[in-house]
Amino acid sequence: MEFNTIFTGKNFIELEHVDSTNNYAAILMNKTNVPDGTVILAHFQEKGRGQMGNEWKSPSGQNIMTSIVYHFNHLNSNETFLLSKAASLAVFDTVSQHVKEHVSIKWPNDIYVEDEKIAGLLIENKWLGKQCTSIIGIGLNVNQRFFGEIRGTSLSNCTGITFEIQDVLNFMVSKLEKYMIQLKQGGTETFTHKYLSNLRYRGIWHQFITNEDENFTGKILNVKNNGELIILTKEGEERAFFFKEVFPVH
């Protein structure tokens, strides 16, 4: 497959099925030097993984299940959420390109169309000193029409169109490379602002619940580069939460 990119996808690995593309990438990295921008695409994942060990399942050949490997020479360990911001925007741009409905990013990096999830990311990093290798796993619902009890949607559901997986992947990878080049060059201010501007529940009062079953009304103010979500409560207190420590109430 040919990508409209400078270097991302020049090393392209296509698999019929795999336990998970992130696992495949991690094993491959232990065996050999994986080129910067390597793209791994699977038609079916037996054990696709989401954030915090959640499973992510997809019918064979209907959606994008991919992992992209990037190397960074100088990336502070307390700023790795910049990777999540950049990758989220690449998927956000891809979905926005094809659907007319409102698209948003749900912290930390799920993509929603209106109130239904269309994509999710799992980013795993390996460090050697200040050198970081990142595996960016992306699951994007493209042609799947039925989701059972799961509140999900797809590009096809939103548009009534059956898409060519390779065309959507090509667009998404080109966007991802653009943001990763900005990150490598230190130009993160623009895409950080764009991430916050499209963050679900930002700037509006909403109900939240903590992992300790505390309910409160708050307004999302910011997401720090270490991934902390900053919420202003009705009482005027700014509170910080990491992944799985707080959830919006639907």
Q: Are residues 186 and 210 in the same domain?
A: no
Q: Are residues 184 and 228 in the same domain?
A: no
Q: Are residues 117 and 210 in the same domain?
A: no
Query: Does residue 6 fall inside a structural domain?
Result: no
Query: Does residue 67 fall inside a structural domain?
Result: yes
Query: Does residue 2 fall inside a structural domain?
Result: no
Composition of the chain by helix, strand, coil, percent to 5: 30, 35, 40
Query: What total number of domains does the chain contain?
Result: 2
Q: At what angle do helices 165-184 and 189-197 cross, to 10 degrees?
A: 130
The pLDDT of 190-215, averaged and rounded, is 96
The better pLDDT of the pair 233, 77 is held by 233
* pTM, full prediction: 0.93
Matching residue, tokens 């910067």? 36
**Domain carrying residue 70:** 12-197
Q: Are residues 100 and 30 in the same domain?
A: yes
The pLDDT of 79-106, averaged and rounded, is 97
CATH of residue 214: 2.30.30.100
Q: Are residues 153 and 242 in the same domain?
A: no
Q: Are residues 218 and 128 in the same domain?
A: no
pLDDT the model gives residue 52: 45
Query: Does residue 4 fall inside a structural domain?
Result: no
Task: Using the predicted structure, report yes or no on whether residue 193 has a pLDDT greater than 70.
Answer: yes
Q: Are residues 140 and 213 in the same domain?
A: no
In 38-143, which ranges are E strands?
Answer: 38-42, 64-72, 103-106, 110-113, 116-128, 131-140
Q: Are residues 218 and 168 in the same domain?
A: no
Query: Does residue 7 fall inside a structural domain?
Result: no
Strands 12-15 and 38-42: parallel
Q: Which of 45-54, 83-92, 118-127, 138-147 has the lowest mean pLDDT?
A: 45-54
Rg (CA), the chain: 18
Q: Mean pLDDT of all residues in the chain?
A: 93
Query: Does residue 5 fall inside a structural domain?
Result: no
Q: Are residues 167 and 50 in the same domain?
A: yes
* C-alpha distances in Å from residue 151, one per residue of 63, 159, 205: 16, 17, 23
Q: Are residues 217 and 127 in the same domain?
A: no
Q: Are residues 144 and 224 in the same domain?
A: no
232/208 Cα distance (integer angstroms)? 11
Query: Does residue 140 fall inside a structural domain?
Result: yes
pLDDT the model gives residue 250: 78
pLDDT the model gives residue 51: 47
pLDDT the model gives residue 237: 97
Task: Using the predicted structure, report yes or no on whether residue 129 has a pLDDT greater than 60.
Answer: yes
Q: What is the dihedral of CA 43, 47, 50, 56, to 10 degrees?
A: 60
117 and 88 Cβ atoms separated by less than 8 Å: no
Query: Does residue 3 fall inside a structural domain?
Result: no
**Taking CA 40 as the corner, what is the angle to CA 10 and CA 120, rounded to the nearest 5 degrees?**
120
The pLDDT of 125-139, averaged and rounded, is 92
Task: Using the predicted structure, report yes or no on whether residue 54 has a pLDDT greater than 80.
Answer: no
- Return the SS3 of 162: coil
pLDDT the model gives residue 55: 53
Burial of 73 from C-beta contacts in 10 A (0-12 / 13-18 / 19+):
exposed
CATH of residue 159: 3.30.930.10
Quick one: which of 222, 194, 220 has its CA closest to 205?
Answer: 220
105/88 Cα distance (integer angstroms)? 7
- For residue 208 the two structure tokens come to 């939240």
Q: Are residues 148 and 230 in the same domain?
A: no
pLDDT band with cut points at 50, 70 and 90 for residue 89: very high
- For residue 61 the two structure tokens come to 């050949």
Sign of the alpha-carbon dihedral angle for 195, 179, 79, 21: positive
